[in-house]
Amino acid sequence: MENYNYDEVEINLRDLFYLIKSKLWIILLSGIIMASAAGLYSSFLITPVYTSTTKLYILSKTTTLSSLADLQIGSQLTQDYMVLVKSRPVVTQVIENLGLNMSYEEMVGIITPSNPSNTRILAITANYTDPYLAKKIVDEFATVSATQIAEIMDADKPTIVEEGYMQSHPSSPNTKMNIVIGGVLGVFIASGIIILLNLLDDTIKDSDDIERYLGMTTLALIPIESGAAKLSKQDEKNRKKRKKSKQLKDMR
């Protein structure tokens, strides 16, 4: 008889395929439940956030394109302006002008200055729960930043090339994307649990398992469960007959 090493687990891809196929309804149900949960969570438990962006052009109108020095200086100044936009004097002035009940740290967490690659454009973006206020914040930042930057750098004011816009739909959360992610996650989790439970189940279920684990060939199969079921049905019939006979005797 061959010795079987129980530390080794043989994975039969064909068996796993049929296992997944037999439990497909559970997997799909798990995906639907997770997708529904993600959709409900995104719709009712996450506060929508709206985005608005304004853009400043660093070089002044008097700058000529023939001046390479001015263009290079403009590129360097853009990086400096990104830091100045989040400076305390600028942020504090914006809060006072709009009459907001915010701290410096709260306002800094709302705005994000950025510089599109290979440009002299300074973009200021605000992410806030109120779309109207998000637009007002970036517009005020553009005005205050241009004035403060001109005073601090002793240069011309940057030109506002694009004012903020008010979004009609929130930029986050992305409900559709969250539903898809939730559904896929539910399918993978259910499949993983089913496969794991199958691999951990070392009970012998059929003749193939006997040959695989014990190295013994089965000669015949005895339908014990089927026979037991038949005997159980026959016992039930006999019990009903005895009960009926007793009732007839009592009636006599």
Domain extents in the chain: 50-162
Structure tokens at 38: 């993600």
pTM greater than 0.85: no
Query: Which pair of structure tokens corresponds to residue 25?
Result: 């309804």
For residue range 71-129, list pLDDT tens digits in order: 555 566 677 788 889 999 999 999 999 999 999 999 999 999 988 877 788 899 999 99
Tokens of 207: 């003749």
Structure tokens belonging to residue 126: 């605000």
Pick the CATH number of 50-162 from 1.20.1070, 3.30.110, 3.30.70, 1.10.10: 3.30.70
Reported residue count of the chain is 252
CB 134 within 8 A of CB 126: yes
Condensed to tens digits (0 to 9), the pLDDT of residues 55-64 reads 988 765 555 5
Q: Specify the residue for token string 């914006």.
A: 94
Q: What distance, in Å, lies between the first and last C-alpha atoms of the chain?
A: 68
Residues 52, 138 contacting (CB under 8 angstroms): yes
- Looking at residue 93, its amino acid is Q
Of the candidates 133, 91, 89, 129, the one whose C-alpha atom is nearest the C-alpha of residue 112 is 91
The phi and psi torsions of 72 (rounded to 5 degrees) equal -70, -40
pLDDT class of 15 with cuts at 50, 70, 90: confident
